[in-house]
A = this chain, B = another copy of it.
Amino acid sequence: MSGKRGAPGLAGRLRAEGLRLTSQRERVLAAVAVLEHGTPEEIGARLRAEAGPVGAAPDTSTVYRTLELLERLGLVWHTHLGKGAPVYHAAEHAHLHVVCQVCGEITSVDPSLMEAAAERLATDLGFTVDVGHVALSGTCRACAEKIRTEHS
């Protein structure tokens, strides 16, 4: 809740790899956290808006590079929700996504939902599932009913 600090682990993680702490990296990470589900483009736009007419916002290519870095550091995760661009979210609050293919609505669900499946994969294949990346497609209740109704 400390309004100032962008994220606790950022500086440390960077130093651990001999990398540098820059304002761009702090701002991109902050934007990801605020937007919840933001595409690279949206994150860039947000930063541009925050910067106002004066301050400079990170370049688009920097946003992409930074996002990739932050993901490698384990601070953010990305998921493909629909067709277009992937969305990024902060790794802090782990959760998985449920997306309605009809209306596009995104619902966040507790990771415990996948516990059983994850354990079975670990046992059977030695595979470690990354809950942050999980996105489940399907149809939400509202759209399912709407479709049933429209069924002439």
Contact = CB atoms under 8 A, between A and B. Distances in A.
A87 to B, nearest CB: 12
B129 A138 contact: yes
Contacts of A80: 80, 86
Contacts of A144: 126, 128
A24 interface: no
Copies in the complex: 2
A139 B141 CA distance: 33
Interface string A105-144: 0010100011011001100011111100111111111001
Interface residues of A, number: 29
A125 B120 CA distance: 24
Contacts of A98: 121, 125, 127, 129
Given A109-B121, A114-B117, A126-B141, 7 more contacts: A98-B125, A107-B125, A116-B116, A125-B141, A127-B138, A127-B139, A128-B138
